A and B are shown apart, each in its own frame.
Chain A
């Protein structure tokens, strides 16, 4: 239904606005659009809590309704490659963003890195199995769940474990990092390697920090796509994410700033 109304909305908003697109609009208070606009944003699963907040903020302040599609970055980049319609793509690593831009789908001037994330060990509340370091994950009898290596989080986890010379016998390799989190939260797994942001926003698991010298810093790029039906609104979304307000929301969710 939204897709059918889109051309009409674009014409109406263009006629009503008249003024050219305000690119480089860095704060949230740049001119409210007179008519409602819709956006589709493909975002990595780990971004859900932060982006949901950003979506609510943009709805209130700029009348932009954002529909999010959250999944592993590898799922989203494959869907975009197959022609799925979206306006903005936010990935959990540069490799999948590069895949999308190599396919010629990214608009001029993008992508830009908007956040970083580090890895953390998620354990059940109260840490009943007494896990305090990466090395503890190789203990026999422990049920450890990781993300599949084809997922950014899984790739990073493999890097971190290899660098620390720890061998983990994973019980399952989940297709999304949020799958790892939920297995730990459900009590089916004793531990899993997820992002710091996942632990912060979950509230159902405890985190065991991985020291910086063993950890990786994941770069999260965002890009406006060439297929965006409303490039102006898409740019406003992406600009908001990079703006001070957007960064505050991301940091509250456990990410590190751009």
Chain B
């Protein structure tokens, strides 16, 4: 009980510090400032796009993972969870070396089409997807593993095609796992800083997400940084509290 209380305090105290020490009189004007709106809007846009990309790519990947076994599965799982272990800035450097103008793939894109990925909003979305997708893959893979496969077998026995089985039986059964994985993924993408600032850089309105804006503001204008942090906190709490238990599959 005591340990649980200490754990709770560890989460509660920093948040309390943020709320109590905030310059509340400046929240109003800060909310109206164009830089705040642009950073917040960009953060929401990028994190939602990253989550969408993670869903499109991550669910099939989780399916693949759950169907392999042995060494192959261990290797694949290590690969998909690597971004979680890698420090975000290292992830950013790796993305630069793969997709930058002189990168493995990026150089081909640049020379053939003149396409440059770093310093664009696309780069910010890619960075966020890179660090956040593992959360979705892990959650969905766990969900798949705990599925009762008899439903799928029954559907197949009744003549349903693979796609029908997947879309009408598997996916609906996986909905809680997909949903909780997506929320984790979105939350991680929203808070991403290191990979984004290294790969996408920092420019207001294009790549300056709220975490980057807070970092820059912290040194020159701490009050504005605290206000930005509060706003992001409020948005995050609203989403997390607004989620219903039954969407997450809790009994």
Contacts and interface: CB of A to CB of B under 8 A. Distances in A.
A75 B218 CA distance: 8
A186 interface: yes
Given A74-B219, A150-B216, A175-B197, A186 B202 contact: no
A150 B212 CA distance: 13
B203 A173 contact: yes
A174 B202 contact: yes
B119 interface: yes
Contacts of A34: none
A47 to B, nearest CB: 18
A59 B207 CA distance: 43
B188 interface: no
A161 interface: no
Contacts of A143: 116, 119
Nearest to B212: A175
A145 B201 contact: yes
Contacts of B102: 186-188
Contacts of A148: 202, 216
A175 B116 contact: no
Contact of A171 (B203, B217, B220): B203
Contacts of A173: 201-204, 216
B203 A172 contact: yes
Q: What's the dominant secondary structure at chain B's contact region? A: loop
Contacts, number: 53
Q: What's the dominant secondary structure at chain A's contact region? A: mixed
Interface in A219-249: none
A146 to B, nearest CB: 10
A77 B221 CA distance: 12
Most chain A CB inside 10 Å of its own CB: which residue of B116, B207, B220: B220
Contacts of B118: 171, 188
B247 interface: no
A172 B219 contact: no
Contacts of B101: 187-188
Nearest to B198: A179
B215 interface: yes
A173 B215 CA distance: 13
Contact of B119 (A75, A77, A172): A172
B215 A175 contact: yes
A170 interface: yes
Contacts of B62: none
Contact of B201 (A74, A78, A171, A187): A171
21 contacts: A74-B219, A74-B220, A77-B219, A78-B218, A78-B222, A143-B116, A145-B119, A148-B216, A150-B216, A150-B219, A170-B203, A171-B203, A173-B204, A174-B201, A175-B202, A186-B100, A186-B102, A187-B101, A187-B102, A188-B96, A188-B102
Closest 9 CB pairs of A and B: A172-B201, A171-B119, A150-B220, A74-B219, A187-B102, A78-B219, A188-B100, A172-B119, A173-B202
Interface of B: 96, 100-102, 116, 118-119, 197, 200-204, 207, 215-220, 222
Interface of A: 72, 74-75, 77-78, 143, 145, 148, 150, 170-175, 183, 186-188
Given A143-B119, A148-B216, 8 more contacts: A72-B219, A173-B201, A173-B216, A175-B202, A175-B215, A186-B100, A187-B100, A188-B118
